[in-house]
Amino acid sequence: GAGVSQSPRYKVTKRGQDVALRCDPISGHVSLYWYRQALGQGPEFLTYFNYEAQQDKSGLPNDRFSAERPEGSISTLTIQRTEQRDSAMYRCASSPGDPLTEAFFGQGTRLTVV
């Protein structure tokens, strides 16, 4: 596709349910990043993939959060047993090379846990 695509755009879920957020990066982009952005704040790093390898997951808040990119393209961020504090905008970005290269962000998934 022309840009980074995230789905769904909006997700409302009940507390305790699991959710899966999808990111389809720009074709050929090697690096893929997941960020979380609260209103009025800058993006907060969650995790980073180089091809299919998860290079850094230091930003994942706890073990309810996990991510995968099994074929080095589409990635899924999964949140198990969601809590209200998980409500936020989740953004995915991809870049053609290493972290120093320009990263392109998707429109994000707005997650609301009720």
Q: Where does this chain bind other proteins (CB under 8 A)?
A: 4, 33, 40-45, 48, 56, 58-59, 91, 93, 99-100, 102-108
Q: Least distance to other proteins from the beta carbon of 54, Å?
A: 12
57 vs 64 by CB, closer to other proteins: 57
33 vs 65 by CB, closer to other proteins: 33
17 vs 41 by CB, closer to other proteins: 41
Q: Least distance to other proteins from the beta carbon of 75, Å?
A: 15
94: closest CA among 6, 30, 21? 30
| Region at 108 (left for phi over 0; alpha for psi -120 to 50; beta for the rest) | left
83 vs 98 by CB, closer to other proteins: 98
Q: Least distance to other proteins from the beta carbon of 102, Å?
A: 5
Q: Least distance to other proteins from the beta carbon of 81, Å?
A: 26
Dist CA 33 CA 106 (whole Å):
10
What are the strands of the beta sheet with 5-7, ordered from one edge? 5-7, 19-24, 75-79, 65-68
9 DSSP β-pair partners: none
For 86, the 3-state DSSP assignment is helix
